[in-house]
Structure 1
Amino acid sequence: MASAPKPLTGTKVLAILVAFFGVVIGVNVTMMKLAIATLPGTEVDSPYAAGLSYDREISAAQDQAARKWRVDAHIERSTDGGATLQVEARDASGQPMTGLKFGGRLERPTDKRADLAVELAEAGVGIYRGSTASVAPGQWDLVIEGDARGERVFMSRNRVILN
């Protein structure tokens, strides 16, 4: 003979509701904590200040174009995970340029926290070279900046894919 089913009481309904909403709230809190922990942050702290500096950037780009320099960059990822960056700089007449201070950055398009700086030193006449360790494969923005007498005279940004 089968036993009678247990009746649905107010206590059971309360326990089911508390368990259901406890699971929903627990999942929401976990997802919120994970989202906040992985948030890379804002691109710029002050959009107003970034807007004011936009005219200076346009002027610097026009000055750079008027110089007609040729700056070639080559980046190579080694088998140990590092990367070597080489920059060759020539003036408008094709002569190698020396005495400049070049610096490079590998920037992750999706997460600014993964950006890597590459210090470049003059390795020859008009050739600047530097390396960095532990570069993950994938898409990067290669940013090259050149300074002369403390003033930025060259800047380029190119998307590269490192295997």
Structure 2
Amino acid sequence: MNSQSGASGRFTGTHMLGIMLAFFGVIVAVNLTMAMLASTSWTGFVVRNSYVASQEFNRKSDEARAQAALGWTSRLSISGGEIRYKLIDAGGKAVALRGVTAHFRHPAYEAQDQTVDLSPATNGEFAAALTLREGAWIMEIEADAGIGNPHRDVRRIMVRDGTLQ
């Protein structure tokens, strides 16, 4: 007879229990970690009142069509810790602006969102100091050209090494 009970190399119920606990323990730990990171990084807030936002859609669409009919183009640069913005009319001349405000929103979290007021610089440009974290941003510029509604320039931009890509 064999005097060893539980000879080495045997797979027992205890081994199976250990494997199952380890397997599901890893799954639960990863899920809890991901849930915690998701709940602390983005609030999920998009608009305060979706009904009001839907009612404003037609008005904003009309404003966008009127703005496009002007034929204005914009020049934007972000580099060296500075943002520069300029509007050019259909004739190729700089549009005289009263003020420019840039809003930067990160698509995934609000912690580093910022608003920057640009000041007049040279040749019709407006500029301000700006440092953005690398990655994707939603940029919305409102330029007051004295025509009623501000000229809106909304873009999704990518910043790498402090420079607009």
When normalised by structure 2's length, the TM-score is: 0.69
Whole-angstrom distance in 1 between the partners of 2:149 and 2:133 = 29
- Listed as ranges, the gaps of 5+ residues in structure 2 are 1-20, 161-165
1:62 to 65, 87, 90: 65
Alignment match of 1:142 (pick from 115, 135, 139): 139
Match of 1:46 in 2: 49
CA deviation vs aligned residue, 1:49-96 (integer Å, no higher than 9, x gap): 0001111110110110111112111111x3xxxx31111212221121
Equivalent pair of 1:97/1:126 in contact (CA under 8 Å): yes
2:118 to 120, 126, 135: 120
Distance 1:30 1:100, change over 3 A: same
> How many pairs does the alignment contain?
148
Name the counterpart of 1:90.
Answer: 88
Instruction: Judge conservation of contact 1:104–1:145 (CA < 8 Å) in 2.
Output: yes
Where does structure 1 lack aligned partners over 5 or more consecutive residues?
1-19
Among 70, 75, 90, the alignment partner of 1:72 is 75
Amino acid in structure 1 at the alignment position of 2:59: R
Q: CA deviation at 1:111?
A: 1.3
Cα deviation, 1:4-36, whole Å, max 9, x if unaligned, reads xxxxxxxxxxxxxxxx9xx9xxx7988766654
CA RMSD of aligned residues (A): 3.4
TM-score by length of 1: 0.70
Q: Is the 8 A contact 2:97 2:146 kept in 1?
A: no
Which amino acid in the other structure matches residue 144 of structure 1? I
Amino acid at match of 1:156: D
What displacement does 1:140 show?
1.4
The answer (yes or no) to whether the contact 2:138–2:156 under 8 Å persists in 1 is yes
Take 1:127 and 1:31, find their aligned partners in 2: how far apart are those partners? 44
In 2, are the aligned partners of 1:122 and 1:128 still within 8 Å (CA)? yes
Structure 1 residue matching 2:46: 3-state secondary structure: coil
The 1-side partners of 2:97 and 2:37 are apart by 47
Answer 1 or 2: which has greater strand percent.
1
Q: Which residue of 2 aligns with 1:157?
A: 154
Distance 2:39 2:97 in 1: 45
The share of aligned pairs that are identical, in percent, is 24
